[in-house]
Amino acid sequence: MSVASETGLRKRQQTGVVSGAWRSIRGEFTDPEKRTAYWMILPTLLVVLLIAAGPILYAIYLSFWRVLPNGQTFIWLDNYVTLFTDSGFWGAAINTVVFTVASVGLEFALGLTIAVVLNRGFVGQGAARAIAIVPWAFPTVVSGIMWRLMYTDQVGIFAYLADQLGLVTGPILANSTAVLLGAVVSDVWKTTPFVALLLLAGLQVIPGDVYEAARVDGATKWQQFTKVTMPLLKPAILVALLFRTLDAWRVYDLFWSMTDRQLDSLSVYTYKFVRISQLNLSVGNAAAVLVFLSSLAIAFGFIKLLGTRAQEA
């Protein structure tokens, strides 16, 4: 096929996609029942947009200005340039990325294991489910302080074990890498039950007939898990990973309480800039906008990647 033919085919495909989308939108509003439904939710939608979108748009607007007590000056992208040239910002970003990837990955693996076990019928299943969800009931600040005490030198159990095994030299809380790993462990302990609960709900809506058909076809337990359970569980996996990734990405309270302000996440970095001085308010506002936009990008990425696969399943 020639280059001209490929270009023409691509243009026709793009035109078809646009026209198909337009027909879909027009069909939504030409249907009387759907049009009535949209009119009924319009007041609520306007209130939500006013409450949510208003402050967001205003924050984006302020991120292009230098706000001082005696006035403000339009500086375009200077606040973002200041951020991207600040080593503290990149340190907070690296901490956030490592924390998010490690904690969400471990929580998903452990949560899926717990959900599969709790989904099986056994004596004491109800009590096991109740006990498994106990860590999630702890407030994050309480959990952070509790784990900080366990890492504290001379009084903490983990500090004692790490010293006896020779895993660290000196106090754990004086080592930034050890503190970050400790934050991951604390978050995994507290939030794995939440992931397990979501995945357990997804497992319980899978019909038993599909497993019976798979057994008739000679599928092994592993094949049933990989070919039946995981594809049908994708909607629940999407919800669990999306919720936990966004929550971990904007982590603030755990870092603030457990590390005693020794370790920055993006949210802690933003708060420090906004709180310490009005002279840094504009830079902190730009950092808050970046956290919001990155969270939005993560959400769209998950929905695009896992949402499409869930629909296909």
Share of the chain above pLDDT 90, in %: 16
Burial class (CB in 10 A: 0-12, 13-18, 19+), 2: exposed
Q: How confident is the model at residue 190 (pLDDT cuts 50, 70, 90)?
A: very high
Q: Which of helix, strand or coil describes residue 36? A: helix
pLDDT at residue 38 is higher than 90:
no
Which residues of 149-242 form beta strands (DSSP E)? Answer: none
- φ/ψ of residue 186, rounded to 5: -60, -45
pLDDT at residue 10 is higher than 90:
no
pLDDT at res. 21? 55
Nearest to 196 by CA among 132, 245, 146: 132
Instruction: Tell me which residue has tokens 């340039």.
Output: 81
Per-residue tokens: 92: 């907070």
pLDDT at residue 237 is higher than 60:
yes
Number of neighbouring beta carbons within 10 Å of residue 17: 10
Residue 199 vs residues 111, 139, 140, 221, 222: alpha-carbon distances, Å: 7, 22, 22, 19, 18
Instruction: Tell me which residue has tokens 């109740």.
Output: 130
CA atoms within a 13 Å half-sphere pointing along the CA-CB vector of 266: 27
pLDDT at res. 128? 79
Q: How far is CA 154 from the centre of its chain?
A: 35
DSSP state of 49: I
Q: Which of helix, strand or coil describes residue 64? A: coil
Task: Name the packing angle between helices 176-204 and 140-151 (round to 10°).
Answer: 140
Is the model more confident about 228 or about 4? Answer: 228
